[in-house]
Amino acid sequence: MHLKSVFAAIVLSASALAIPATASADVFDAPTPERQARESGLQTAIFAGGCFWGIEAIFSHTRGVSSAVAGYHGDTAANATYDRVSGGFTRHAEAVQVTYDPSVVRYDQLLEILFSVGADPTLVNRQGPDRGTHYRTALVPLNSEQRAVARAYIRQMGESGVWDDPIAVRIESHQRFYPAESYHQDFMHRNPDNSYIVRWDAPKVRALREMFPSLYRARFRTG
């Protein structure tokens, strides 16, 4: 399918689901396919893309992901509380730390999922109804390979012509990740009827199932 046709189909689907219209899984090739030979064992990645409930939810439904933890990245431990972060008093981003098996799901595939169903890469310091620097969209590479893939992927998104607005995704240097309070963990799994979840995050999981059937896992992986 031609790129523009793919995008048109996604726009219709995204409009129906009330989620950002982003790229499909077919748009981008893996930037460095040779890395599969170098990856072994479980890997860890950190992603920020708006409210961490939804990002945690989509990766908790992704095959190959063994853990998705909601938390804060980008400032100190003293400030890593929900009240301070959500109040705009820190430099943290709401983020999710993902542990995954690269033999099942690669890092670039996690990026495809993030920007197809999780976050609009053109928005600055906001996603959905949420506003503030702590809702910025950022990739936090934990090694040189992830950094190379992240840079290549962002460049490809910018060159694709899919988005009218510039790509606003940041690559941030790794600092310590602080898990969020226990009531934020597995939030969608424990609170499926929460109004925010129903309006903003459940559609993202449905889109994951529809757009990435081979990577979708029906069971929510807790922890």
CATH code, domain carrying 8: 3.30.1060.10
Per the rule left: phi > 0, alpha: psi between -120 and 50, beta: everything else, 64 is left
Look up the pTM and report it. Answer: 0.83
Identify whether 183 is part of a domain. yes
Structural domain contains residue 120: yes
- How far apart CA 94 and CA 103 sit, in angstroms, is 28
Task: Please report the sign of the dihedral spanned by the C-alpha atoms of residue 49, residue 54, residue 58, residue 59.
Answer: positive
For residue 76, CA distances in Å to 3, 52, 136, 147 come to: 42, 18, 17, 23
Residue 75, by phi and psi: left (phi above 0), alpha (psi -120 to 50) or beta?
Answer: beta
Domain assignment present for 216: no
Look at the chain and report how many structural domains it folds into: 1
pLDDT of res. 7:
32
Query: pLDDT in tens for each of the 223 residues of the chain?
Result: 222 223 333 332 333 233 343 444 444 444 443 444 345 589 999 999 999 999 999 999 999 999 999 999 999 888 899 999 999 899 999 999 999 999 999 999 999 999 999 999 999 999 999 999 999 999 999 999 999 999 999 999 999 999 999 999 999 999 999 999 999 999 999 999 999 999 999 999 999 999 999 999 999 999 8
Name the active-site residue from 14, 19, 23, 51.
51
Could you tell me the residue range of the domain that residue 101 belongs to?
3-26+41-211
For 5-36, give one letter per residue: b (16+ CB within 10 A) or e: ebbeebeebbeebebbbbbbbebbebbeeebe
The structure tokens listed for 8 are 């048109």
Q: Is 51 a catalytic residue?
A: yes
